[in-house]
A and B are shown apart, each in its own frame.
Chain A
Amino acid sequence: MIILLLQQMLNGLQLGSVYALIALGYTMVYGILRLINFAHGDIFMISCYFGFFAACAFLSKGLPTWLAFIATMMVSMLLTALVAVLIERVAYKPLRYAPKVSAVITALGIGLFLENFTLATLGPTPRGMPALLPNVNYRLGPLSMSSVQILIIIISIVLMFLLDRVVQKTMTGMAMRAVSYDKTTASVMGVPVDKIISITFAIGSAVAGAGGVLYSLAYPIINPYMGVRIGWWAFIAAVIGGIGNVRGAMLGAYILAFVEVFTPMVLPSSTYRDFVAFTVLLIVLVVRPTGLMGRVTAQKV
């Protein structure tokens, strides 16, 4: 029983790491624009496809797998960031001073567009991600873990750590926090607001791009609809942690992944996991209306 628990905890860590990478994109964009970027789940899906095509190309060139893996990560992160910045410039920027809901509806529209454009051009058939890395199983006593699993956890944690440093310590990060605090004052102080917003989109999506490659290594079937479910789950993770808060998103992602992994152990069927996850979300929001680590802002009258 203990072994099963530990094993599931390991799986939870792996899943949580991927959720965290995607949740970061939601939380960063929300922090800076107060916009729930509903297209983010589909940006994640696009990144999986980028990863798939890059991996196929590199492997057919005969690159050694480790090199191919690193190159795939790079290509996927770069292209995903480009797509996201393009979307931001074309669709969100004209709406920066429009009612907020118009931007949210635009985000929904962009998400639908990405999903169906992929469906129309690449077809609904799921594609199998080629194995980039040799999957070795290590045994630690009764526990077994695969090299992919360890790699996902390590890379995610390193990326999250780097991101946290960027936001907390660098000039760009400071500018981001300034813009998220007060856009107008930040621009008066000489912060290039448009540029910072684009950078935020780029970083958030690049991290989701990394998440996409790692996810498709662990669960190697990709299709145009995969962004919907994973996108929503990452979104809930961001909200449970307190949307707009980078560390909160990571916390929320791990909580949610554990919920997903442990539900089938307690309840008879895995179909209850949505129910449990959303009930957790509801309870968190009723008790702490701005999430676990969200700031409570005072209201002015």
Chain B
Amino acid sequence: MAGLAPKRLMKELTEIQSKGTPEGIVLLSADDMKEWVFLISVLGEETIYKGETFALRMRFGNRYPIEVPEVTFLATEQYQPPLHPHVYSNGHICASILGTEWSPVLNAVAICITMQSMLASNKKKERPEGNDRYVRTAPSNPKLTRWHYDDDTV
């Protein structure tokens, strides 16, 4: 039973390569079974993120899929995290499925879809309250932050 994580990731990768990803989601890189990057854009005319593309990085531990991967939006010269009340300027995301509501039946693409719809339903471009304070003190791995989930509507 050794190596649930690589086996599962290999399966996900094969599926992405054969069936593709949903519209607005592109697998940018999956060089190994440790770190993948997806590009995410929001579809349609209604969105406040029209024309923007974000890069979502997932780092998978040995205990994936029992444990949630470490998921952040990239904050680099090329990519900026979306302006969203649940996304900090360092790319950390406050979302229950990336914390206590992660379930091992979910997968990388399901995370992308959740992030895409989180962006799609947002009407106000703003950072979370206390962004600067959080970013100053945040651990590099967002999984070490104890999140408080309070608002599922955006």
Q: Check if A and B associate.
A: no
Chain B interface (Cβ < 8 Å from any Cβ of A) = none
Chain A interface (Cβ < 8 Å from any Cβ of B) = none
